[in-house]
Chain A
Amino acid sequence: MGFSPQNCLVMNRDSNGYTFLFAAAMVLVVASTLAFTASSLKSLQADNVRKEKMQNILSTIGIQTDREQAETLYKQYITGTLALDHLGNPDEKVDAFQLKLNNEIKKPANEQRFPLYKAVVDNISYYIIPLRGSGLWDAIWGYIALKSDINTIQGAVFDHKGETAGLGAEITQQWFMDRFKEEKVFNSSGQLVGINVSKTNNDPKDTDKEDHEVDAISGATITGDGVTDMIIERLTHYLPYFEKEKTTMASIN
């Protein structure tokens, strides 16, 4: 190595004592620097995550925005956030926006709280439901917005933690998310069927909006199945609430 004995400043650099001393000092310095940086940047980072969530929620109802605008627009369009229990009753004690779906999803259904966002754009109301499930490697999640008929999809947005780039990770692409628009989650007899990410739907342009299917991505079968599963699994829990909403709407009309 590029050192020579006369360069030595201090005690014998090869002694065990010096090595331990150096390592201990180094660890202390590094740990405190990193801890200081992490804690001083934490609020900025958390803010980014929060605004990104608002951005995602807004994009399902067709409002594209940058992160700076997200908070203002979120307040403007999102009229209510509910944390529902398994019977479809809102739990006032829980802040739905702060709910961590990855914690909730591990609980039995009757202990979970199901977040729901209500939005109103141009006097049309939407129901936005957060999704979470498993892809091939790790968690996938997203949001799906239903129109006021509680059937037709207004928009969907997906994200993932570690799906394969170019294959499973393509679920975050706009062209994939756009395939969900106008699809129906209930079949003609009123049964919840969700949306099937299908390899055999013979409808690559997704023109048929009554088939409850979107065209899958080649090479992303398991991620696609994960999307299918998470949509039907999550929506099922909202059925009691949807029933109530439909009854209220029917009584108003």
Chain B
Amino acid sequence: MADKEANPSKKPTLLFLNKESEPLFSKKNRVLLTDPLDDNNPITVQVLGVCSALAITVQLKPALVMTLSVIAVMGASNVIISLLRNLIPNRIRIIVQLVVVASMVILVDQILRAYAYDVSKQLSIFIGLIITNCIVMGRLEAFALGNGVWRSFLDGIGNAAGYGFILIVVAFFRELLGSGKLFGYQVIPDAFYEMGYENNGLMLLSPMALITVGVFIWIQRARNRKLIEKN
């Protein structure tokens, strides 16, 4: 990870009690939230978590639930790993991260099954596969193990939101063009269909998710020159 950051304070920190006082939303902390939305987006810049981005973006609703689930999992596991960062034995740190992420995912899955059964059926294995989403483990290893609780929390939320932002944008276009609906409600008027408009069935297939992400990357790079490789 290029953005690996050292602990900002060189003084010993006891769990989350940081001796230096810093406003909660200082500029440095805000960057943790906003950076993954654009400059360092997990999907379009780091190209992580693409598999699930293809699979669950046919409709907005599952994409939104997936986003919220990933935000919950990443926020919580970043906080837990950050809290334990001075206790975790170095040699089994990956196992510890995996156990923490896996338990968070199981919790989310169980809660969805109890309170949002239909969505949980729709997302089926993809909730379980949050465990394998490289973004989650990547942030634990690169950030939470070396940073304080609050900063790690922001970083987790930020990266999950950056991931979810792409999911929602892609799902918006796929549902709109593929089924003429948004959140399951018909938005393209019947008159259009009578005039010969047809839903684009191709939008429902995963290749179009990849192409939509590609178009997004194109627009993002045209707008944000920093992202263009120099050579």
Minimal beta-carbon separation of A129 from chain B (angstroms):
23
Which residues of A lie under 8 Å from residue B111 when comparing CB positions?
37, 41
**Which residues in chain B, 77-99, are within 8 Å of chain A measured between CB atoms?**
85-93, 95-96, 99
Number of interface residues of B (CB under 8 A): 35
Given contacts A2-B7, A26-B96, A30-B103, contact A48 B89 (CB under 8 A): no
Q: Assess the A2–B90 pair: CB atoms within 8 A.
A: no
Q: Assess the A14–B91 pair: CB atoms within 8 A.
A: yes
**Binary contact readout B141-170 vs A (1 if CB under 8 angstroms, 0 otherwise):** 000011100000000000000000000000
Which residues of B lie under 8 Å from residue A23 when comparing CB positions?
89, 92, 95
Cβ of B228 under 8 Å from chain A: no
Q: Assess the B90–A13 pair: CB atoms within 8 A.
A: yes
Q: Assess the B115–A9 pair: CB atoms within 8 A.
A: no
Minimal beta-carbon separation of A67 from chain B (angstroms):
7
**Which residues in chain B, 35-76, are within 8 Å of chain A measured between CB atoms?**
55
Given contacts A34-B106, A41-B114, contact A26 B99 (CB under 8 A): yes
**Binary contact readout A195-232 vs B (1 if CB under 8 angstroms, 0 otherwise):** 00000000000000000000000000000000000000
Cβ of B14 under 8 Å from chain A: yes
Could you jot down 17 A-B contacts, CB within 8 Å? A1-B90, A7-B13, A9-B14, A10-B87, A13-B90, A19-B89, A22-B89, A22-B92, A27-B99, A33-B103, A34-B106, A37-B107, A41-B113, A41-B114, A45-B114, A52-B117, A67-B118
Query: What residues make up the interface of B, taking CB atoms closer than 8 Å to A?
Result: 4, 6-7, 12-14, 55, 85-93, 95-96, 99-100, 103, 106-107, 110-111, 113-115, 117-118, 145-147, 204-205
